[in-house]
A and B are shown apart, each in its own frame.
Chain A
Amino acid sequence: DAGVTQSPTHLIKTRGQQVTLRCSPKSGHDTVSWYQQALGQGPQFIFQYYEEEERQRGNFPDRFSGHQFPNYSSELNVNALLLGDSALYLCASSLDRRSYEQYFGPGTRLTVT
């Protein structure tokens, strides 16, 4: 049973560029959440997708957007990259919106230069 997968593993971008990160949830899970983890800090909630719609959003600017596809996979898009966007981006999936447990993928390490 495949767990949560994310791609790419690492990414280096330049300030002002745009980036797309991808996530496939654990088999049977239909809810996907995205988190940003800066170095030395705990993960911070970006947003959550369920039924192809953004259901909840954390304190992140509109430069951060997402999408969920009919197969429950998801994308995170960040526009106009800033140096401060450098972080580990984690995707987590849960069985459904009411499920308390979230399972994390290995993350994408984004470096903005």
Chain B
Amino acid sequence: EDKVVQSPLSLVVHEGDTVTLNCSYEVTNFRSLLWYKQEKKAPTFLFMLTSSGIEKKSGRLSSILDKKELFSILNITATQTGDSAIYLCSFNNAGNMLTFGGGTRLMVKP
């Protein structure tokens, strides 16, 4: 059965800290891995990764995929209180269905 496991479950840091969120997966028909940020309701799209070893960056956020070891990491540098959210990792299979992990709840304290 396809599955996605995220760690840690939750994390509390102070503004300015750097965090690394982990996502490991087991999938039969991998097409892409997607990261989302969920603050209140709608998950908002962050990154899509399809190739190993190529880092995607957007401001203070970056992500990389390792298709050999079946994991991805999401890094956030110089964290701000606005980064407080649940971060969801998902993969997209051949049928274009997203399978999500349980999420990592990040709290950034001032």
Contact = CB atoms under 8 A, between A and B. Distances in A.
**For the side of the interface on A, what is the size category?**
20 to 34
Nearest to A44: B100
A65 interface: no
B100 A98 contact: no
Chain B interface SS verdict (over half): strand
Interface in A82-113: 88, 90, 92, 94, 97-107, 109
Contact of B96 (A41, A43, A58, A99): A99
Contact of B42 (A42, A55, A100, A107): A107
Contacts, number: 69
A74 to B, nearest CB: 15
Contacts of B88: 42-43
Nearest to A45: B97
Interface in A54-97: 55-56, 58, 88, 90, 92, 94, 97
Interface in A18-57: 31, 33, 35, 40-45, 48, 55-56
B22 interface: no
Interface of B: 4, 31-32, 34, 36, 41-45, 48, 50, 88, 90, 92, 95-103
Given A35-B100, A41-B103, A100-B48, 9 more contacts: A42-B90, A42-B101, A43-B90, A45-B99, A48-B95, A48-B96, A97-B96, A100-B92, A104-B45
